[in-house]
Structure 1
Amino acid sequence: MNIKGKLLIIGGKEDRSDNHIEMKECNSKFSPYEILRLLAASNNDRIEIITTASSEPEDLKKTYTETFSKLGFNNFGFMHVCDGSENTEYIERVRQAKTVFFTGGDQNRICETLVKSPIVQLLKDKYNNEEGFMVAGTSAGAMCMPEVIISEAENGEAILDNDIDLGNGLGLLNYALVDTHFVHRGRFGRLSHAVLLNRDLYGLGLGEDTALLIEKGHLATCKGSGMVVVISAKEVTQTNVSKASEGSPVYAENLKVHLLTDNCRFNFEEGKMDTVSQSNDTKSI
C-alpha cells in the first residue's frame, strides 16, 4: 500500500521550553527545536494536540503553547479526550487538521480510551490517504502508535520470563514495537524481550530529543541530538524465550542491533540502512 501520510515518533524530553537537553552542550550537530519544527510545513498548518495520556493536561497546554509560539506556530489547539469519543467536535477538528500530536504520559490511557474510537479510524484513513498529513507522538504518545505496545515492563539486569506485558496499540505502525527514553532509562532488555516474543517485528528504541520521521510507511529518517536503536530478532538462532519458566533469565543468539543518528535512514521493507547524509557527504552503508 502506498501510504501518503507521515509518522513522527519522538523518544521524549524533546527540546521545548521546560526541558534541559543534556546533548545540547556536547553534540556539535545540535539544532534547536529540530524535531518539533517537523510538526508543520507551514506556520499556519493546523495542529491538534491530544493530551489524553497525561494526568496534568493543563501543564502540558502551557508548555506547548510557549514552545509553539517560539516556533512561530499560530494555528493549534488542545483536545483532552476522556472517553471513546464520539464527540463530533473532536472528530471534525481531527478531520481538518494537518497534524495530530499525542503528548506523553501513560500509553495505556491513550489506548484504553481511543483504540477502537472513530478518532483513530479517522487518523488511519487520513494517514493512509492524505498527502502530507502527519500523526506524531512523544514518549507515551509514540509508544501507543504500533499494533503491539509495551504496556508494562521491568528494567532489570536480566531479561526474566513474565517481566513484560504487551497490549493493543493504535495500529498506525505495523512492523515495529516502540520504546522511549530508551538510552537514559536503560530499556534495552525490555525492548529485546518484546521483539523476542514478536520476532516478525523490529524494536525501535528512541533516545531522548530524538525521533524517527517515517514516510511512505517504511522509510524512517532519524532526527535529533541522540540516537535510535533498532533491534531485530528475525535471525535469532537460539533462544529460550518460549520455554523459560517464570522468573528465569532469557537468552538469545544473533540478536541484531543497528544504531541510527541524525539523518540516518532505515528501510523497513529491506531491513537495512539506506544512506547516511552528514553535512555534504553521502555514503552507502
Structure 2
Amino acid sequence: MNVKGKLLIIGGKEDRSDNHIEMKESNKNFSPLEILKLLADSKKDRIEVITTASSEPEDLVKSYKETFSRIGFSNFGFMHIGGDSDDESYIQRVRESKTVFFTGGDQNKICEKLLKSPIKEVLKEKYMLEEDFMIAGTSAGAMCMPEIIISEAENGEAMINNDLEVGKGLGLLTNALVDTHFVHRGRFGRLAHTVLKNQELYGLGLGEDTALLIKNGNHAVCKGSGMVIIISAKNVVQTNVETAGENCPIYAENLQIHLLTDGCAFNLTDGSMTAADCSEKVDHQNRDN
C-alpha cells in the first residue's frame, strides 16, 4: 500500500497538563511534551481533535486546550462525532486539517461511529494522498487504527482460548495490531494471543508516554520516555491457538519479541530493526528547563 501521510500512535498517558508521568523523574532522556509536539509541523497548522471515544469529552477538551497552548499551537478544534447530523459540518473541517487526533476512551465507540460515517473515507483519502497530513491517536485512539482491533480481552495469568474478542478497525494500519498502556496494565498476554490468531501481523505494544511515528505505512520510529514491545508470531513453530478446547490455555514456541526505545526504528514490512544511537542522546530534561 503506497501511503503518503503519517500515523502517530501513542500508548496513552502522554505528557499533558492533567497527567503525572512516572518516567519524568527516572529517565534522563525525558523531553517535556515531546510526543504532542509531533502533531503539527507548524504551530499554525489546523489540528482537529476527535473526542468520540470519551464518556467525558469536556474534561479532555479542557486538558488538551491547556496543553496545546503550552506547546504554542494556535489553530485547533474539537469534534464529538455522534451521528449523521454531524457529518456535513465535520467533513469540511477534516478536509481542511493538517492533523486529526483521536483521544482516549473506548476504541469500540470510535469504530462504531466512524465506520458508519463518510468521515472515515475522507480520512483515508487524505492519509493515502497527502504527504503533510497526519492521523494520530492516543490510548483507544491508537487502538482503533488497524484493520483488526482488540475489542475485549482478559489480562489473566494464562491466555485462554475464549477470553479474546476482536473487531473491525478503521483500516489505516494494515500490517499490525495495536495495544496501549501496555507495560503499566500488563497486557502482554492479550496482545500475544491476538498476534497468534493473526500471525501475518505484528503486535505493537505501546508503553505510556511512548509513541510510534509511522511513515510510508511501514517505517515506524519510537518516540517518548517508555518503550514499545513488538510481538511477532511469524516464526512460531508450535501453538494450539486454533485447536485448543473451551477454557484451555494457549501455548506457543518461538514467539519473537523486540524492544524499542526512543529513536529506534522498525520496518513493518520486512521486520528489520535499527537501533538508536545512544551516544548522541542529550539530557532533554535539563536542556528544556
Residue in 1 that maps onto 2:207: 207
- Alpha-carbon contact 2:180-2:206 (below 8 Å) kept: yes
Question: What's the CA shift for 1:116?
Answer: 3.7
- Alpha-carbon contact 1:264-1:275 (below 8 Å) kept: yes
Residue in 2 that maps onto 1:263: 263
Question: What's the CA shift for 1:73?
Answer: 0.3
Instruction: Summarize deviations over 1:202-223 as a string: whole Å, max 9, x none.
Output: 0000000000000011000000
CA distance in 2, matches of 1:181, 1:115: 24
The RMSD of aligned alpha carbons is: 1.1
CA distance in 2, matches of 1:80, 1:45: 20
Residue in 1 that maps onto 2:67: 67
* DSSP 3-state at the match of 1:12: coil
TM-score by length of 2: 0.95
CA distance in 2, matches of 1:241, 1:2: 33
CA distance in 2, matches of 1:72, 1:49: 16
Query: Aligned partner of 1:14: which letter?
Result: E
Aligned length: 281
Residue in 1 that maps onto 2:225: 225
Instruction: Summarize deviations over 1:7-58 as a string: whole Å, max 9, x none.
Output: 0000000000000000000001000000000000000000000000000000
- Alpha-carbon contact 2:175-2:269 (below 8 Å) kept: no
Q: How does 1:1-285 map to 2 (within 5 A)?
A: 1-84=1-84, 87-280=87-280
Question: What's the CA shift for 1:277?
Answer: 2.9
Percent identical residues: 70
CA distance in 2, matches of 1:74, 1:97: 13
Question: What's the CA shift for 1:260?
Answer: 0.3
Structure 1 residue runs of 4+, over 6 Å off?
none
- Alpha-carbon contact 2:87-2:118 (below 8 Å) kept: no
Structure showing the higher strand proportion among its residues: 1
Query: Aligned partner of 2:231: which letter?
Result: I
- Alpha-carbon contact 1:85-1:119 (below 8 Å) kept: no
Query: Aligned partner of 1:23: which letter?
Result: M
CA distance in 1, matches of 2:85, 2:138: 21
CA distance in 1, matches of 2:86, 2:226: 39
- Alpha-carbon contact 1:107-1:144 (below 8 Å) kept: yes
* DSSP 3-state at the match of 1:100: strand
Distance change (3 Å), C-alpha of 1:238 and 1:85: farther
Question: What's the CA shift for 1:83?
Answer: 1.9
Residue in 1 that maps onto 2:284: none
Consecutive unaligned residues of structure 1, counting only runs of 5 or more, are: none
- Alpha-carbon contact 2:50-2:102 (below 8 Å) kept: yes
Question: What's the CA shift for 1:280?
Answer: 2.6
* DSSP 3-state at the match of 1:77: strand
CA distance in 1, matches of 2:276, 2:19: 29
* DSSP 3-state at the match of 1:190: helix
Question: What's the CA shift for 1:269?
Answer: 1.3
Question: What's the CA shift for 1:276?
Answer: 2.3
Distance change (3 Å), C-alpha of 1:133 and 1:279: farther
CA distance in 1, matches of 2:138, 2:5: 18
Question: What's the CA shift for 1:84?
Answer: 5.0
CA distance in 1, matches of 2:178, 2:76: 26
CA distance in 1, matches of 2:164, 2:85: 29
- Alpha-carbon contact 1:241-1:251 (below 8 Å) kept: yes
Question: What's the CA shift for 1:279?
Answer: 4.7
CA distance in 1, matches of 2:154, 2:122: 34
Distance change (3 Å), C-alpha of 1:41 and 1:85: farther
CA distance in 2, matches of 1:213, 1:181: 17
* DSSP 3-state at the match of 2:223: strand
Distance change (3 Å), C-alpha of 1:129 and 1:97: same
TM-score by length of 1: 0.97
Query: Aligned partner of 1:157: which letter?
Result: E
Range with bigger deviation, 22-31 or 267-276: 267-276
Question: What's the CA shift for 1:78?
Answer: 0.2
CA distance in 2, matches of 1:21, 1:245: 42
Distance change (3 Å), C-alpha of 1:115 and 1:248: same
Consecutive unaligned residues of structure 2, counting only runs of 5 or more, are: 282-289
